[in-house]
Amino acid sequence: MSNKWKKSWKSSKQPSKQKKYRENAPYHHRNKFLSAKLSDDLKDKIGTGTLPVRKGDKAEIMRGDYEGLSGTVDQIDYTDYKIYINGINRERVDGTETKVAIDPSNVKLIKLELEDHKRVEKYELTEEEKEEIKSKEVQEESEEEQDKEQESEDTTEEKEEVKEQNKEKDSEDTTKEDEEQDEEGDK
């Protein structure tokens, strides 16, 4: 492999050559390396399995310690080929919060940022398809909000039940203690 980076380079079995190809790639080619899989419904609409990740896309983590969590792409690091998702943080030893770098291959795109007209034109999305994708996003967001409200209602109901059970136990305990004191007093 020559020292100069070439787009026409096909492949190699040697990891050192693969790494060299990625590390020496110019910045205008690096976003191709930052592609992620699409969800099934987006795959059907767009007609491709993967897309380069953009800031503002909503992604779900499929592998790793944060599997199952989702959020919007907050930052993209083209030098380390990592993405940062809003809300995915870890605590450092000194107690401060820091963002977690995630490889885009471990992520599935759920919702696309469609404000970029070049992205829309490239995949030939009509206005109807664009609106349909946005309407699905709104439905998913409203369902998520309803789920959160339901969870909060469930937790408040559970807390009330636990309080009632604790009150009943306390009242039973106090009656037992009173009975024991009465018995001791009678002796």
Domain limits, the chain: 34-125, 126-187
Angle formed at CA 142 by CA 140 and CA 146, multiple of 5 degrees = 115
| Distance set, CA 167 to CA 170, 172, 177 (Å) | 5, 8, 15
17-33 residue pLDDT tens = 888 888 888 888 888 88
pLDDT at position 69:
93
HSE-up of 70 (CA within 13 Å, CB side)?
15
| Alpha-carbon span 177 to 171, nearest angstrom | 10
The continuous run of DSSP H or E covering 147 comes out as helix 127-186
Of residues 7 and 73, the one with the higher pLDDT is 73
Residue 33 tokens read as 């390396």
pLDDT at position 181:
66
pLDDT at position 81:
93
pLDDT at position 132:
74
Q: What is the pTM of this model?
A: 0.65
Taking 70 as the threshold, does the pLDDT of residue 184 lie above it? Answer: no
Reported confidence tier of residue 120, pLDDT bands at 50, 70, 90: confident
Reported confidence tier of residue 177, pLDDT bands at 50, 70, 90: low
Tokens 């398809």 correspond to what residue? 129
pLDDT at position 136:
67
Pick the CATH number of 34-125 from 3.30.450.20, 3.40.190.10, 3.40.50.300, 2.30.30.30: 2.30.30.30
Average pLDDT over the chain, rounded to an integer: 82
Of residues 48 and 1, the one with the higher pLDDT is 48
71-98 residue pLDDT tens = 999 999 999 999 999 999 999 999 999 9
Cβ-defined contacts of 46-51 (< 8 Å, 24+): 46/123, 46/125, 47/123, 48/123, 51/109, 51/112, 51/123
Reported confidence tier of residue 12, pLDDT bands at 50, 70, 90: confident
